[in-house]
């Protein structure tokens, strides 16, 4: 299983490859000052998403890591 870590301005996103499904999974591993939609502080960010290619996963997940997508 391949694994990559994106380290951005506000979060760290882990990219892992699911070899059986042929997908890349992006999961927020550390998100500083994460707040929910109502502005309340949350203990952990639960953002995760599946992508068909590592390029798509890295492109979208880098926005989350830099705080552009929550």
pLDDT in tens, the chain (70 residues): 668 999 998 889 999 998 888 899 999 988 766 666 777 776 678 889 999 999 999 999 999 999 886 4
Rounded to two decimals, the pTM is 0.77
Q: Which among 8, 2, 12, 9 has a CA at the least distance from the CA of 53? A: 2
Q: 41 forms bridges with which residues in the sheet?
A: 35
């Amino acid at each position: 299983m391949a694994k990559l870590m994106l380290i951005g301005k506000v979060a760290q996103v882990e990219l892992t490859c699911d070899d059986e499904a042929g997908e890349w999974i992006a999961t927020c591993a550390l998100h500083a000052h994460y707040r929910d939609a109502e502005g309340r502080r949350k203990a952990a960010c639960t953002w995760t998403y599946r992508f068909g290619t590592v390029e798509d996963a890295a492109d979208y997940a880098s926005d989350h890591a830099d705080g552009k997508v929550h």
